[in-house]
Amino acid sequence: MKSEFFFYPLFQEEIDRLVQNPGRKEARYLVRIEKEMVLTDPILDLILSCQTPGKFYYSAKDDLFELGGLGNALVIEAASGDEVLEGFRRLWNRDETIPVFGGFAFDAEEEIAPEWGPFGRYRFTLPLIEISRSRKGARICVNYINKKRLPREQVLREIADSLQSLDALPRLSPTAGQPALADKALIPEKPQWNRMIKKALRTILEGDLKKIVLARKKVFTQKDRWDPVQIVAALAGISEKSCLFYYQIEDGVAFLGRSPERLFRMHNGTLLADAIAGTRPRGKNPFDDQRLEAELLNSPKELEEHRFVAGFIEARMHQLCTDVKVESREEILKLKNVQHIITRYSGRSQKNFSPLAIAEAFHPTPAVGGFPQEEIRSCLRRYEPFRRGWYAAPIGWMNRRNADFAVGIRSALVSGKTLHIFAGAGIVSQSNPHAEWNETEKKMDNFAAILGEV
């Protein structure tokens, strides 16, 4: 629903106090004003109601944490993780707990497809307005990066002007309505998909690969621009244990999704990671659902697929952590349309690894790429008829020590008049092209329901 929350009145008194305070004339590199408060509006409503071009939202999968951002105080676009960390070095030298939001491409060495151009290879944002909610309560912060070494009074005046400009924008009502009719293209078409799977099976039989995850997409084109606000509002209405993410780069350009897969969470030295692979649809009734669950847990093909992922995650955990534990092994994760096998790990992270380095070490897991990891990007470039961009890559927030990254699956790219919806299927020696096609259809069901396909 539409939020009528205004930001300038919240910070006006503190801005006036700082203007009148006879301290140093030059503002510091980072000017940050924080307000802890009781926030009655949902954070997502605050984000979606505001018409500023750049914004984001992230809700953690299984604990009470949300992060939203409006506007841009600092954006780092880079070709590597090291460049990103260098870009935020001065910020985190001032305060290493400040979060930034973003992600990176599935294959940073691949040429960027035109529709993914605004996202680049790596992109992270420190917002002008940062809104968070945790078990400790809600907090709203305003951020300003003083690159030009402006006087403090001028910085505070620019902050006030930015907040007043934000408040003056018309408020949207983020309703989840039905979009207009659109033309649909399948990439690849089913015959080409069947050939892709058979080619992959031959490669697996020859021993070059043990598993490969092949993706497909549906591209919907309409006369007017797609509204990402409408789509993410509909995704937010789905009740399931998953991570909701939304990264709008500019008007009409956004990457969004509802991912069941956490890549990892790092909090005060503890690292949590999930291995998710193996899929069945949900049943039509409780009895049918239980039957499909039992079928999933007793399928040699699905167990083989899952254990490639779990073995990889466990090995990476031992490289990155001490005191590695299996928190749960081969349980069932039930989502709205599908159910998966999940194994959960924890460990104590080694201090010399940054959150971004950990994300790069895990990505791509066999759940979204294949096994062995070293070969998989080059294989996907040969097999898939489109470039993935940020699909199935890490997306989330981080500061210098802590982070929460999801895997960008069950996702879509809004790019002007086109909407790209993605899904993938893990191919192992016992895979069947028709069954894998049907699995990707079920994985797209959240978006199919929004578009009125089902």
Alpha helices per DSSP H over 342-444? 355-362, 373-383, 433-443
Residues identified as active-site: 211, 261
**At 5, which helix (H) or strand (E)?**
none
Q: How far apart are CA 427 and CA 170, in angstroms?
A: 48
Opening angle at CA 289, ends 283 and 293, nearest 5: 125
Helix, strand or coil for residue 45? helix
- Give the residue from 4, 140, 133, 127 showing the smallest Cα distance to 60: 133
Pairing relationship of beta strands 66-70 and 338-349 according to DSSP bridges: unpaired
> What is the per-residue burial (b if ≥16 Cβ within 10 Å, else e) of 54-67?
bbbbbbbbeeebbb
Q: Cα dihedral angle (366, 254, 415, 258), rounded to 10 degrees?
A: 50
CB 186 within 8 A of CB 218: yes
Q: Please tell me whether the peptide bond between 372 and the residue prior to it is cis, using omega within 30 degrees of 0.
A: yes
- Give the residue from 274, 231, 229, 177 showing the smallest Cα distance to 421: 231
| SS3 of the chain: helix, strand, coil, percent, to 5 | 35, 35, 35
Is 302 annotated as ligand-binding?
no
Q: How far apart are CA 321 and CA 327, in angstroms?
A: 15
Q: How far apart are CA 442 and CA 402, in angstroms?
A: 34
Is 36 annotated as ligand-binding?
no
* Angle between helix 355-362 and 300-320 (nearest 10): 150
Q: Which tokens go with 325?
A: 């534990």
Q: How far apart are CA 31 and CA 14, in angstroms?
A: 12
Q: How far apart are CA 425 and CA 361, in angstroms?
A: 22
Residues of each annotated binding site for Mg(2+): 305, 439
Binding positions are 305, 439
